[in-house]
Amino acid sequence: MQDDDRRRLLTLPVVGWVLYDFANTIFSFVVVTRYFNDWIIEERGQPDIYVGLMVAAVSLALVVALPLIGALADRSGRHKPILIVFTLVCVAATGLLGVVESILLALVVGAIATFAFNTADSQYHPLLSVVTPERNRARVSGIGVAVGYLGTLSVLFLIGGIATDGHAQRAFLPAAALFALFALPLFFLVKEDRTGGERPPVGPFAQLAATLRRARGRPHGRLLLARFFYVDAIATVLAFMTVYARRTGDFDGRELDVLLGVATVAAIAGALGAGWLAHRHGPRRVVLGTLGMTITVLVIGAGTGSSALLWVIGPLVGVALGSLSAVDRVFLLRLVAPERRGEDFALYALVGKLSSGFGPLVLWGGTVLVATELGLSKFDASRIAIFVLAGAALAGYLILRPIADAPAAGGAPAAAAAPAPA
């Protein structure tokens, strides 16, 4: 990349947008991946299914709220006000997790934080089209995800020294402070022009029905359906990686932090590499290649049950997460109209949340529950759950394959002219 190209790529709005990815990943790592599940399940001795029920409840709330919120953003022509409000709610709830004692209250506050996080996130992705032109989006998206994982590495070592074994709750207050600090640049550096259309307001269920009808049979609808399955696999593996690693009997808290650190470095490489490859070859090929690798890794991991192999599997899952996080939002931007981005990215976030609720509750929690009732150990039951998650990733791969992503004349994707069947 030439110096003038680099300067055009890294403008102040891009820097603000990228730093929000840094902030976002702090919450995702601390609450979703590392400390919340460990605190509730391992330290407080609660069943896996409790976390699954909490995530499922949040998913149901998002089903009602996100399409309506996305349509509201499209009508107003602005994504940022919604993002700011729900970011602040998420910061407050994350901080509150650091002081609550009741398990029930912790689950309720965790649900509020997760709801607010996903609502803000649904209005963050469309801002990529505001901060940079289409030709730069794949690379900027990759940089955003990579910088986000640098945030993960930072909190892994900063918070890891505070939230030692048996003290996971100590992670939440510093995480809330860091989330707020690195979200602020977007609030001030990203400017939006009003682009909304005049559409009459409708009720939440009517809005959801209208959004789903419009997606049915369209390329973006097929992408979102595929995303349900592959996010199901990736998010669930990440959410329960620490639990699975502990069940091998070979990982303590320090080794878990090192494993997650290595996986995070791999995610940075995956995001940067995927952004560059999508810029050169288009997002479809990158997503399909990533899914093929993910399926292979999960099958090998579940089949061997090797704890040593987690040092290979963890980083490869990190590569997959970084790649998919960087590229599938660019893919969706190619497939949706500018005046519908709030609505369609709300559905994008909703699909991700539904799948990440379905996975922990049914594919992981349900599989482990049934398998242990049949007499298997929790470790062997977890291996079966990983096989199930590999099947979900395969379903996403097969659904996604027919979609094309080559831009047609005028910048619209060719696939949009010939919708794939739902």
| For the chain, percent of residues with pLDDT exceeding 90 | 30
- pLDDT given at position 218: 83
Query: Tens digit of pLDDT for each residue in 102-154?
Result: 999 999 999 999 999 999 998 998 899 889 888 888 899 999 888 988 887 78
In-domain check, residue 422: no
| Lowest-confidence segment of 76-80, 331-335, 352-356 by average pLDDT | 352-356
Show the domain range for 50: 3-190+201-417
In-domain check, residue 196: no
- Please give the C-alpha separations between residue 364 and each of 17, 263, 354, 373, in angstroms, as whole numbers: 34, 21, 14, 14
Which two tokens mark 401? 């394959």
Strand partners, 413: 407
- Does pLDDT of 233 surpass 80? yes
- pLDDT given at position 127: 92
Q: Distance (Å, rounded) from C-alpha 18 to C-alpha 151? A: 11
In-domain check, residue 163: yes
Q: Distance (Å, rounded) from C-alpha 67 to C-alpha 346? A: 6
- pLDDT given at position 308: 81
Residue in 1, 112, 3 with CA at minimum distance from that of residue 61: 112
Confidence of residue 420 (pLDDT cuts 50, 70, 90): very low
- Please give the C-alpha separations between residue 195 and each of 23, 190, 215, 345, in angstroms, as whole numbers: 27, 15, 21, 16
Query: Tens digit of pLDDT for each residue in 147-196?
Result: 988 887 788 788 878 887 788 899 999 999 999 999 999 999 998 876 55
In-domain check, residue 384: yes
Query: Tens digit of pLDDT for each residue in 277-296?
Result: 988 888 999 999 999 999 99
Confidence of residue 394 (pLDDT cuts 50, 70, 90): very high
The CATH number of residue 405's host domain is: 1.20.1250.20
In-domain check, residue 48: yes
Q: Distance (Å, rounded) from C-alpha 52 to C-alpha 182? A: 29
Number of domains making up the chain? 1
In-domain check, residue 195: no
Mean model confidence pLDDT for the chain = 83
In-domain check, residue 138: yes
Provide the whole-model pTM.
Answer: 0.75
Residue in 360, 370, 277 with CA at minimum distance from that of residue 324: 277
In-domain check, residue 160: yes
